[in-house]
Structure 1
Amino acid sequence: MLIHADANAFNKLLEGKGTFIVDFFATWCGPCKMLGAVLEKVAPEIPYDILKIDIDENVKLAEEYEVMVVPTLLFVKDGEIIHRESGFFSKDKFRALVQAHMQ
């Protein structure tokens, strides 16, 4: 499920036990829009929530996690970031990333 979140929601999830993906994006970013379309299509197929965090609305959070490029995805398992991936990629690559890092 895609969830538009802010720093509070992200920090609350990070404190808990669970697995989720964070999409740091910007509304003005072309590759972010393209990846957003990929995530919308693939989200129903995966058992993990995808938090969408707008870097312009959550500047401190983006700085804290050293997001220098958008889009940037963080793969989180039990409060620990286990993988980071930046830039646009296809549905197949996203599925492969989920399988490699979240299983």
Structure 2
Amino acid sequence: MKAIVFTSNYCPYCRVFKRTVERLKNELDGLVKFEFVNVDENRVLAEKYEVMMVPTVVITKGDEVVGGFMGYADYKTAREAILEQILASPKSNYKN
């Protein structure tokens, strides 16, 4: 699975959220691949996933969107949301 993290250089919450995602990236290594996308530099991808605000996380399995959330989240909230959505995905092979 992949978590696409949409951010902007002009968003103060995005800068803080990037640190949260870096921590999650280390913890969830092998379970979720994290990719950062700057919406100012990649508007096409942001439009494809209908990103309306930043930060936004889109969780995909292959080409299918299986979850995500919009807005800033602290470490605990982001971790719980990502794990909950991975577990809810019918194509998940994650074992808790």
**Fold in common (TM above 0.5):** yes
Aligned to 1:75: 59
Q: Which runs of 4+ in 1 moved over 3 A?
A: none
Count of residue pairs the alignment pairs up: 85
The alignment-based identity, stated in percent, is 26
* Structure with the higher fraction of residues in helix conformation: 1
Structure 1 unaligned residues grouped into runs of 5+: 1-18
Query: Structure 2 CA distance, aligned partners of 1:81 and 1:89?
Result: 20
Structure with more contact order per residue of length (Cα contacts < 8 Å, sep ≥ 6): 1
2:5 paired residue among 23, 42, 67:
23
Post-superposition shift, 1:28?
1.2
* CA-based RMSD: 1.1
Aligned to 1:3: none
Aligned to 2:24: 42
Q: Deviations over 1:45-71 (max 9, x none)?
A: 102110000111101211222111001
